[in-house]
Structure 1
Amino acid sequence: MAPDREAEPVASAAADSSRLGSDAPPEAQDLRRYTTVEELLKEKLSEAIGGWRGAVESAIPTLLFALVWSVRRDLRESLLAAGAVALVFLVVRLVQRQDVRFILYAAAGVGISAFFALRSGRAEDAFLPGMLQNAGLLVLLVVTNVLRWPLFGFVVGVAEPDVFAQDPTWWRKHRGIVTVACRLAWVLVALNVVRLGIMVPLYFAEQVAALAVAKVALGWPAYLVALTAMGAILVRGRTPIDPAAAAP
């Protein structure tokens, strides 16, 4: 049986990772901790994703915006309500000395949405930045996959800051990492196609309440479905980190 072509060495160092000592290249030392590419990507992705609390903190400002808009039909009041609850979440995180990254992302999203909506005076424009982001990410994922520079490869690379500082593209020298990273990216491509396919018609129909519900439903719940699909890829895959393991 021929060796697995998806698991070519990282500049020949990764192929011998199980046999290298402390003087091995940084990327080989990193890969040596894993048996398969899927195991590597699963760990790095888990480090980059927030938990259920981050999902709730991201969803509530959007739902509150829609609720206040439905009752008051006042754009400024709706945006102020969303911003206020995001600020409360941020203060609670700071008091508890917890990671504030995800609530800062949500707060930034509220600020950008407010800018778009207040500038046009149309409530539905609060959802425009998110749709533009989805469209941009969709194009980026497709282009980078076609060029064999998948974004998930950079997730692996950035997760090892010392190695990334020396060689930001070290992960791309391992064909197995590139192949599996591309498969994961196609899952997100499908997710963004679904998001845009549902939200764009609602936007042009000026259905603000429906847009809010769609944004929440197609946010973390849909993302968890995508993560489940990614998990299936990572659990079922057996692309060896060390190409020598694929030999007879």
Structure 2
Amino acid sequence: MSTADEAVPVQPPVQPTVTAPKPAESYETVEAAVRAQLSKAFGGRRGTIEAAVPTITFTLAWIITEQLQLSLILSGGIAAALLLVRIVQRSTPQFVLNSLFGIGIGAFFALRSGKAEDAFLPGMLWIAVVEAIMIFSILVRWPFMGFMLGATNPEDPLAWHRDKGIVKLCTKVSWIMVLPGLIKLTVQIPLYLAGQVFWLGIAKVALGWPVYLAALATVGWVLARGRTAVQPQV
């Protein structure tokens, strides 16, 4: 029998390999998602230290020398050193860059006026703007914490707003996270008007991470009490 007459098996076409898209982070509960997003937003312990050290350096240098330019240079130098460490370690420099940007803006204000207290003015103005936006979002029933939660669901980032229970939870948590900024402004504004550079520096550090930590602990307590199930994506 001729081999030419034999049936030749037909090979199926080779299908190209397609890599499935990486799924978004998934959480069992809404509370877990909110906790995770808050942790990212504040940069953890290291991000907090990187934000506080330049301010401490500026305040101490001003107390010791009363030289505005020198104090700003030392503060900026510390921030630059922290940034270099981040680059060498190939880790995210986001929070150091935020600190450097704040120092740069503060230096511009202070050097322009010649008043050391003006180094704190941009930060206070920024907090005031953020606080206004945060409170507005709550009053119009689109609490900002909901958008942080929506970031965990890129396919439908506004899905959280269709659930009244989640909106209520995000509103409660949002009010808690508004308090640190209000407390900070309440203390810093009179100190700024009085030109109290030393106490401005103390207030910025003391009412920074410690107060936010207390707010986060309160949020954690609120979130720990509930277990709102995350709706599965269709």
| TM bracket, shorter-chain basis | 0.7 to 0.9
Deviations 1:108-138 (A, max 9, x none): 1111111111121111011111111221122
Change (3 A) 1:234 1:206: same
Partner of 1:23: none
Give the conservation status (yes or no) of the 8 Å contact 1:37–1:176: no
- Residue 71 of structure 1, CA deviation: 1.8
The amino acid of 1:41's aligned partner reads V
The amino acid of 1:214's aligned partner reads A
Within the alignment, does 1:80 sit opposite 2:73 as a pair?
A: yes
Task: Tell me which of 110, 117, 122 is aligned to 1:124.
Answer: 117
* Larger CA deviation: 40-49 vs 209-218: 40-49
Partner of 1:109: 102
d(CA) in 2 for partners of 1:115, 1:188: 30
The amino acid of 2:208's aligned partner reads G
Q: Secondary structure at the match of 1:81?
A: helix
Partner of 2:212: 223
Within the alignment, does 1:144 sit opposite 2:134 as a pair?
A: no
Unaligned runs of at least 5 residues, structure 2: 1-22
Mapping for residues 154-233 of structure 1, pairs under 5 Å: 154-160=147-153, 162-163=154-155, 167-233=156-222
Give the conservation status (yes or no) of the 8 Å contact 2:161–2:167: yes
Partner of 2:17: none
Give the conservation status (yes or no) of the 8 Å contact 1:37–1:180: no
d(CA) in 2 for partners of 1:49, 1:59: 13
Partner of 1:8: none
Give the conservation status (yes or no) of the 8 Å contact 1:135–1:196: yes
Q: How many residues align?
A: 210
- Residue 34 of structure 1, CA deviation: 4.0
d(CA) in 1 for partners of 2:40, 2:47: 14
Structure with greater contact order relative to length (CA < 8 Å, sep ≥ 6):
1
- Residue 158 of structure 1, CA deviation: 2.6
Partner of 2:85: 92
Partner of 2:45: 52
Partner of 1:234: 223
The amino acid of 2:108's aligned partner reads F
- Residue 242 of structure 1, CA deviation: 4.6
Overall identity of the aligned pairs, in %? 45
**Structure with greater Cα Rg:** 2
The amino acid of 1:233's aligned partner reads V
Partner of 1:19: none
Change (3 A) 1:95 1:242: closer
- Residue 54 of structure 1, CA deviation: 1.5
Deviations 1:217-247 (A, max 9, x none): 111111111100110111012334359xxxx
Change (3 A) 1:241 1:168: closer
- 4+ runs deviating over 4 angstroms: none
Q: CA RMSD in A?
A: 2.0
d(CA) in 1 for partners of 2:151, 2:189: 33
d(CA) in 2 for partners of 1:47, 1:83: 25
Q: Secondary structure at the match of 2:230?
A: coil
The amino acid of 1:98's aligned partner reads S
d(CA) in 1 for partners of 2:126, 2:94: 18
The amino acid of 1:44's aligned partner reads Q
Q: Secondary structure at the match of 1:238?
A: coil
d(CA) in 2 for partners of 1:177, 1:30: 19
